[in-house]
């Protein structure tokens, strides 16, 4: 499922843009998860991992603003609710909250100059990769992550430490 960013400030977000971002990031996740849970319940086992964002935890981020951050915050709440409601069926629900990851979502805005600025703010000294995020998701989906539910795994190189 594609992720949808929105760099528009709150006071400038149109209703159409707000709905578009929530339709993809929140409603799309809801519909897919609702169908998957039917199968998970039958098998008494399942793993849900929502892809949120450090932007949701920070109240805005480097690239996403109100619509994006709000939609990603909704995913955190949904995963925590699902963790409580679905645990009895052997289903875990967690989230990952990536920070600055070098992907297409940055829309070509990760210039060399911007990368230099980001590196100054990242204790690990590098921008994240899709492999960094995939490793966290794989852990939560795997056997070793089976006792974790309702957690958010921050994959952000230390840009957001709480």
What positions carry a catalytic annotation? 68
Alpha helix stretches (DSSP H) within the chain: 15-22, 28-43, 54-58, 66-86, 112-121, 130-141
Distance CA(149)–CA(70), nearest Å, equals 22
**Could you tell me the CA-to-CA distances from 110 to 60, 63, 130, 131 in Å, in that order?**
17, 10, 15, 18
CA distance 97 to 58: 11
As given in the structure block, the two tokens for residue 79 are 């995963």
User: Nearest 5 degrees, angle CA 3-CA 157-CA 76?
Assistant: 45
Q: How many whole angstroms separate alpha carbon 140 and alpha carbon 62?
A: 26
In the block, which residue shows the tokens 């795997």? Answer: 142
């Amino acid at each position: 499922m594609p992720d949808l960013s929105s760099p528009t400030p709150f006071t400038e977000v149109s209703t159409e843009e707000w709905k578009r971002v929530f339709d993809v990031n929140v409603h799309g996740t809801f519909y897919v998860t609702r169908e998957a849970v039917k199968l998970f319940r039958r098998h008494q086992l399942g793993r849900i991992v929502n892809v949120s964002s450090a932007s949701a935890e920070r109240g805005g981020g480097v690239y996403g603003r109100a619509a994006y951050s709000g939609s990603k915050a909704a995913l955190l709440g949904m995963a925590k609710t699902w963790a409580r409601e679905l645990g009895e069926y052997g289903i875990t629900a967690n989230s990952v909250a990536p920070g600055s990851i070098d992907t297409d979502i940055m829309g070509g805005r990760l210039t060399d100059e911007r990368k230099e600025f980001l590196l100054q703010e990242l204790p690990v000294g590098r921008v994240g990769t899709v492999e960094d995020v995939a490793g966290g998701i794989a852990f939560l989906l795997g056997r070793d992550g089976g006792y974790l539910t309702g957690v958010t795994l921050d994959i952000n190189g230390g840009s957001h430490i709480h």
